[in-house]
Amino acid sequence: MLKEEFNENNNFSENDVIKLLQKKNLISPKRKMKTAEDNIFYKIMLVMRASSLKPLAINVFYKFTKIYPPFFEPLRNAIIKSGLEIDPQLYIGSLFMISTFTSTILMGILMGLYAAREFNIIILVSGIMLSLIFPIIIIVTAGYVYPFYLVNKREKSIKNNIPFMLNHLYAISYASLSIERAFRMLIEMGEYGELNKEIEKILKRIDVFGDDAIKAIRYVASNTPSEDLKSVLFGILSIIESGGNLREYLAEKSQYALFTYSLERKKYLEALSTYADIYTAILIAAPLFLVAILAVINVIPESKILGMEPITLMKVGTYVLIPIVNLIFLGFLTLTQPEI
């Protein structure tokens, strides 16, 4: 069905869908999306194809992916999980389209300069080759990496918020509400970063696409970037479908998640203690030791180390090497620091 195809290949938000259709006068402003049928999705596809360069990106430049499909399949999955809310075909096609247009513009500029200034033909050919290769490499590489960066960022945010979300959901479960209502209360009462967006997707699948709670949870669990959230959602599904005790499951999961969260923070604090010892040895004690040695060597007439005078080597170490190593160490701490 067209509806299922649309759901699989597009990640429009609820507001995007409603505004898009109302702007094109395809639905009434008062019409509820959850009662829409397949004809609504057909109209959305028509609107997409009628928009500026989108047909060119999807129907022409997306065909480049057929050269080696396995290379682009991970990117397609990353786009869906990244929260970009864009059709993967449109995203990938746009990368090739933009890089092609950029290369064409650069070649046009080079040809214009050649006609005006009469460059050497070798320089012209070299410039054309570079203008063909570099825009494609830079734009496509950056566009390929960006969704994976977003997926990794969202995964960390979800992982760090899951313990508190589960604890909150466990408290809500005492009200004996349906899982759909519990998720709605969770969104209204709590703020859990990217985890909120995953829960909102469940609710939008119910409100916009007319799915039941089980189908909506299964869809989000299959497309979430977090393995931890996937495990939790599939666990909730198994409890609901088997008629088990959801409250006991949430109590056990929240307790385990909080224990794991505190254990990871404890391990990081212990690692920081080790990093502090390394920093003291390499960036405090070692420079002082080397400065003392260089000061002694500098007393010796015409003494040189690596072709430089000791005083020059001291200046290079003080103003160049030590700041660079400090920046590297700071970057390492930033990358290894868990989000809070």
| Mean pLDDT to the nearest integer, 176-198 | 84
- Is the same domain home to 272 and 228? no
Q: What is the pLDDT of residues 11-22, one digit of tens each?
A: 555 455 555 555
Mean of pLDDT values over 63-72: 81
pTM, to two decimals: 0.68
pLDDT at 5 over 80: no
Reported as a single tens digit per residue, the pLDDT across 148-171 is: 999 988 888 888 889 988 988 888
Whole-angstrom Cα distance, residue 199 to residue 154? 13
Are 95 and 139 members of one domain? yes
Residues 24 and 144 occupy one common structural domain:
yes
Domain holding 276, by residue range, is 264-336
Q: For residue 191, what pLDDT is reported?
A: 78
Q: Using CA atoms, how far apart are residues 332 and 160, in angstroms rounded to an integer? A: 20
Q: Is the pLDDT of residue 231 over 80?
A: yes
Distance CA 35, CA 45 (A): 18
* Pair (110, 171) in one structural domain: no
**Among residues 237, 258, 279, which one ends one of the domains?**
258
Measured CA to CA, the distance from residue 47 to residue 52 in angstroms comes to: 10
Q: Assess whether 131 and 211 both reside in one domain.
A: no
Tell me what pLDDT residue 119 has: 61
- Name the pLDDT band for 49 (thresholds 50, 70, 90): very low
pLDDT, the chain, mean: 79
Q: Same domain, yes or no, for 105 and 234?
A: no
pLDDT the model gives residue 35:
43
If asked whether residues 9 and 114 sit together in one domain, one would say yes
Weakest mean pLDDT among 57-66, 132-141, 263-272, 284-293:
57-66
Q: Quote the pLDDT of residue 237.
A: 92
Of the three residues 124, 153, 182, the one that is the final residue of a domain is 153
